[in-house]
Amino acid sequence: MAEKEQFAILSKILKRFQAAGILDDLILIGSWCLYFYRLQPGSFEDLPAVRTLDVDFLIPRPQRSKKEVNVPAILEEFGFTPTYHGMSGLVVYDHPELRLEFLIPEIGKGTSRPVSVRNLHVNAQAIRYLNFLSDYTMVVDYQGVEVRIPEPAAFALHKLIVSSRRTKKEKKQKDLESAVGLLELLFENPQGKERVLSILKKLPPKWRKTILAVSEEHFSELNDLYTSS
């Protein structure tokens, strides 16, 4: 698990996706975002560096473009192999150092089956609450590549809400640690606080209620801010 190797592969993939004209249609989410936040000037250098080796790409709904690109063929060039998940039809892409997965916001009643994204030749796992990550994004420059990631405030609130649905204790704890770590840094300045509040207020009331129920126990400053606003 050579860290240098992981970054080198990720960087090559991002460059290749950019050259193929699809990077703008993908949002890098998951624990790798913490690494990109740490690269930003400001107060994010103290973020915990723990991340999984899963690189998650979110495909927004609706898609920004419908450009036809054979993504599995690109990944094959880098030595990735498809890994099939049981009977569901979900395919993820494995490499000795990384796993790449495609996710898509779940809409309507939802389904346990993956969503086929035909123009990219991939299946994406539909997951609830992902649309608010795609609603609040920022672009960071990474070695000359423009990578779209969720804003830290949206990322933190998303981690709070997904932690409420986790059944595995360790995953729940990891979500909460990421969320609280980010919120503590965001609350160090008025703009950060304001951004968290503004996103929180725009969320559907049910989602907001869930977030505030989690934060009550783990980061009550958020509840104080919301009540006083």
Cross-strand pairs, 123: 116
CB of 89 to other proteins, least distance (A): 15
Cα 181 to Cα 54: distance, rounded to the nearest angstrom: 20
Binder among 11, 12, 44, 94 for other proteins (CB under 8 A): 94
Taking CB under 8 A as the criterion, the residue among 177, 184, 194, 221 binding other proteins is 177
Q: What is the DSSP string of 100-153?
A: EEEEEE--TT--SSPEEEGGGTEEEEEETTTHHHHHSEEEEEETTEEEEEE-HH
Tell me which residue of 137, 140, 162, 130 sits closest to 151, measured CA to CA: 137
CB of 207 to other proteins, least distance (A): 25
Q: Is 166 in the site for other proteins (CB under 8 A)?
A: no
Q: Within positions 106 to 145, which residues make up the interface with other proteins, using CB under 8 A?
A: none
Q: What is the DSSP letter of 178?
A: H
In the complex, the smallest distance separating the C-beta of residue 210 from other proteins, rounded to whole angstroms, is 23
Minimum distance, C-beta of residue 9 to other proteins, in the bound complex (Å) = 11
Rule CB under 8 A: is residue 54 a binding residue for other proteins?
yes
Which range, of 39-47, 173-181, 195-203, 208-216, touches other proteins by CB under 8 A?
173-181
The token pair that represents 202 in the structure block: 């725009």
Q: What's the closest the beta carbon of residue 1 comes to other proteins, in angstroms?
A: 6
Residue 61 DSSP label:
S
User: In this structure, which amino acid lies at residue 114?
Assistant: P
Report which residue type is found at 148.
Answer: R
- From the list 22-30, 73-81, 115-123, 194-202, the region that binds other proteins by CB under 8 A is 73-81
In the complex with other proteins, which residue's Cβ is closer, 94 or 135?
94
Mapped onto helix, strand or coil, the DSSP state of residue 44 is helix
Which residues here bind other proteins, judged by CB under 8 A?
1, 50, 52-54, 76, 79, 81-84, 94-97, 99, 168, 170-171, 173-174, 177
